[in-house]
Chains A and B, each alone.
Chain A
Amino acid sequence: MPRPPVRLEGVWAGYEGRVVLRGVDIEFPGGGITAVLGPSGCGKTTLLKVIAGLVEVLRGRVFFGDVEVTRLPPERRNVGMVFQDLALFPHMTVFENVAFGLRVRGVGGSELKRRVMEALELVGLDPVEFASRRVTELSGGQQQRVALARALVIEPEVLLLDEPLAHLDYKIRQRLVWELRRLQRRLGVTTIYVTHDQWEAMELADMLAVMRDGGVVQFGRPEEVYENPADEFVATFFGDANIMPARLLGEGEGLVAVRPEDVMPLPPGREAGPGFYVIEGYVEDRVFQGPLVRFEVRVDGVVVRSLVPRRIARGMPDRGPVRLVIPKGSVKRLGGRGARG
């Protein structure tokens, strides 16, 4: 199966005269998973629909590998898509839902049956038990698997997933995310996964695109994006960040971001090394979060969040004065339009 990269060049798109995407340039690497992360209304679903051919491109071009698909109708793109509401065909059984893409391609008889059964097994549904069930009788997680099987059975070159797990319970979501990751590694299909959930994005993505207001604000490996957020929006949308005003040497006033896990309390009687900033604060709240404990520390009228491993947090007071240390390298200067004036 070819694994073409998907490239958008200056794509503008929208519906009924409303422009949603405003000049998107991006290349989704072939064979990998790219997570597209952004708040609702940022255009991430429209981006997927542009790739699927379901939304008209007003300006710009779309490529699968070297092939331009900008004006190709969806049925000629060989794209597998899992919709946000799954869009399973309610009048068909599980088998017929999965078989749909094969039937319209003229596959029939024993080959049809074999491929549908294989696809069901691939997504972890027992074909014997589920093939003849109606999709409306299934649980959310099972419906999810059917939708995935239906999209994969046609052996798509590109797999598009539009917040497929949004409606599921946490535990099922977690399991499906892990399964999805394994499955994608095995199949190697170019995958674009749209979500507003940063945890899903971190779990799945080889590459991460953060979107806002119809544009891609940052694109890179998740770790890179996490370490060097482009602006305040990215810093707070992908992971949590303390945004603080600071006077920067030679650059005047500006905003900096510090990840809460980079802010550590200094035990009494200890001194910090030269590589750290030390600030005085007052612990106002302590929130237990399982493996970590979050402290809310007031510093000069600003609340700074500090995320501390549970064992280290044991010796800390619930309230009271504290000294915080921040590694100098972890303070990131923020640029761009995300900064508050």
Chain B
Amino acid sequence: MNPSRLLAAPLILYLIVFFYAPLLYIALVGASIEGFPRSYIEAVSRPEFHVFYIKGAAAATIATLMAIILSVPVAFYAAYYARRIERALIVVAMVSTFWVDVLLRALSLKLLFQAIGVSPGFWPMVVGLAYEVLPIVFIASYLGASQAPRELIDAARTLGAGPLQAFARVALPISAPWIAAGAAASFVYSFADYAVPSLLGGTTGFTVGNLIYTLILEGDRWGVGSAVAVMLTLVSAAGAALLFGRLYRIEVGR
């Protein structure tokens, strides 16, 4: 074996111990308690669960779209037109929300909403989710914008394209896979999120994260809960694989 592969060992070990092994444990225990594939069939087919899936997907989609609409213009501005200091400030400002813990952010938003008289529900939850994923989408969009160097825009302009046309025909298509990757990550993150829905969702804003929590820790339905968790993970992994495959093809120019 190539010794340089050992460089990856600590991280892989870490992930195995703290993520993959517990996940596998949940999957195995879940399957052994309620039987495979019975718990999976129930997880997919029970109508009460569908509300969670649909609401969760809707909230995640809207939050992701909001994050894209908010961060893509800023990302392009930062990548193309901002001066160096301005660019650094924008990036720091956009990413700095990450420095505050997820729970604290959700909690502070909850207090803020309370102060202006907005009670928890679907839309406050969506706003909270968008707030959570904004840095993810921004970083991806910024990286995407950096893939289309300024010179390509200049080339488009000399060829007769106005600023908007140059953006639409050159900058956007080149950065689109990156924005899409950010969007996918943002969707997966908010679809599975637990903190924001439980703090800001009230009684109507339940999502998949709540469902898993409720099934496993409150309803004592380990089998079905694990089935939902495993399926969620698999769907996310498949999405990520598809996207990174596409990014890779673009990188190597196929």
The 8 Å CB contact of B160, one of A16, A87, A104, A137, is A104
**Min CB–CB distance A164 → chain B (angstroms):** 13
The 8 Å CB contact of A87, one of B83, B152, B250, is B152
Is there a chain A Cβ closer than 8 Å to B155's Cβ? yes
Is there a chain A Cβ closer than 8 Å to B156's Cβ? yes
* Residue pair A75, B162 in contact (C-beta under 8 Å): yes
Question: When each residue 72-100 of chain A gets 1 if its CB lies under 8 Å from chain B and 0 otherwise, what string results?
Answer: 01110111110101011111000000001
Stretch in B54-62, B100-108, B167-175, B226-234 with 4+ CB within 8 Å of A? B167-175
Question: When each residue 118-135 of chain A gets 1 if its CB lies under 8 Å from chain B and 0 otherwise, what string results?
Answer: 000000000000000010
- Bound complex: CA of A49 vs CA of B152, how far in Å? 14
* Residue pair A89, B170 in contact (C-beta under 8 Å): yes
Closest Cβ neighbor of A77 among chain B residues:
B158
Is there a chain B Cβ closer than 8 Å to A175's Cβ? no
Is there a chain B Cβ closer than 8 Å to A265's Cβ? no
- Bound complex: CA of A49 vs CA of B170, how far in Å? 20
- Bound complex: CA of A1 vs CA of B64, how far in Å? 51
* Residue pair B158, A54 in contact (C-beta under 8 Å): yes
Q: Kindly identify, within residues 46 to 61 of chain A, every residue whose CB is under 8 Å from any CB belonging to chain B.
A: 49, 52-54
**Min CB–CB distance A145 → chain B (angstroms):** 16
* Residue pair B253, A134 in contact (C-beta under 8 Å): yes
With contact pairs A89-B170, A90-B253, A154-B160 given, residues A104 and B165 touching in the complex (Cβ less than 8 Å): yes
A-B contact count (CB 8 A): 72
* Residue pair B83, A16 in contact (C-beta under 8 Å): yes
Give the size of the chain A interface in residues (CB under 8 angstroms). Answer: 31
- Bound complex: CA of A71 vs CA of B157, how far in Å? 14
With contact pairs A87-B151, A136-B253 given, residues A100 and B156 touching in the complex (Cβ less than 8 Å): yes
Question: When each residue 138-151 of chain A gets 1 if its CB lies under 8 Å from chain B and 0 otherwise, what string results?
Answer: 00000000000011
**Min CB–CB distance B80 → chain A (angstroms):** 13
With contact pairs A101-B159, A137-B253 given, residues A87 and B154 touching in the complex (Cβ less than 8 Å): yes
Question: Which residues of chain A come closer than 8 Å to B155, judged between CB atoms?
Answer: 81, 83, 87-89
- Bound complex: CA of A87 vs CA of B152, how far in Å? 5
- Bound complex: CA of A75 vs CA of B164, how far in Å? 12
Question: Which residues of chain A come closer than 8 Å to B152, judged between CB atoms?
Answer: 87, 89
The 8 Å CB contact of A105, one of B160, B170, B174, B253, is B160
Question: Which residues of chain B come closer than 8 Å to A85, judged between CB atoms?
Answer: 149, 151
Question: Which residues of chain A come closer than 8 Å to B156, judged between CB atoms?
Answer: 89, 100, 104
Q: Is the interface of B mostly helix, strand, loop or mixed?
A: helix
Question: Which residues of chain B come closer than 8 Å to A136, judged between CB atoms?
Answer: 253
The 8 Å CB contact of A54, one of B84, B154, B161, B250, is B154
* Residue pair B169, A81 in contact (C-beta under 8 Å): no
* Residue pair A150, B174 in contact (C-beta under 8 Å): no
Question: Which residues of chain B come closer than 8 Å to A73, judged between CB atoms?
Answer: 157, 162
* Residue pair B160, A81 in contact (C-beta under 8 Å): no
Q: Kindly identify, within residues 1 to 42 of chain A, every residue whose CB is under 8 Å from any CB belonging to chain B.
A: 16
- Bound complex: CA of A75 vs CA of B154, how far in Å? 10
- Bound complex: CA of A327 vs CA of B160, how far in Å? 54
**Min CB–CB distance B83 → chain A (angstroms):** 6
Question: When each residue 17-51 of chain B gets 1 if its CB lies under 8 Å from chain A and 0 otherwise, what string results?
Answer: 00000000000000000000000000000000000
Question: Which residues of chain B come closer than 8 Å to A151, judged between CB atoms?
Answer: 158-159
Question: Which residues of chain B come closer than 8 Å to A16, judged between CB atoms?
Answer: 83-84
* Residue pair A81, B158 in contact (C-beta under 8 Å): yes
- Bound complex: CA of A160 vs CA of B162, how far in Å? 19
* Residue pair A83, B154 in contact (C-beta under 8 Å): yes
* Residue pair A83, B151 in contact (C-beta under 8 Å): yes
Question: Which residues of chain A come closer than 8 Å to B160, judged between CB atoms?
Answer: 75, 78, 101, 104-105, 154
Closest Cβ neighbor of A78 among chain B residues:
B160
Closest Cβ neighbor of B151 among chain A residues:
A87
* Residue pair A75, B161 in contact (C-beta under 8 Å): yes
* Residue pair B158, A104 in contact (C-beta under 8 Å): no
- Bound complex: CA of A91 vs CA of B175, how far in Å? 10
The 8 Å CB contact of A75, one of B157, B169, B170, B250, is B157
B contacts, CB < 8 Å to A: 83-84, 149, 151-152, 154-162, 165, 169-170, 173-174, 250, 253
* New A-B contacts (6) at CB < 8 Å, excluding given A52-B154, A75-B158, A88-B155: A49-B154, A54-B158, A75-B162, A78-B160, A89-B156, A154-B160
6 closest pairs, A vs B, by CB?
Answer: A136-B253, A101-B159, A87-B155, A74-B157, A87-B151, A81-B158
Q: List 20 A-B contacts (CB under 8 A).
A: A49-B154, A53-B158, A74-B154, A77-B158, A78-B160, A79-B158, A80-B159, A81-B158, A87-B149, A87-B152, A87-B155, A89-B170, A89-B174, A90-B253, A100-B156, A100-B169, A101-B159, A134-B253, A136-B253, A151-B159
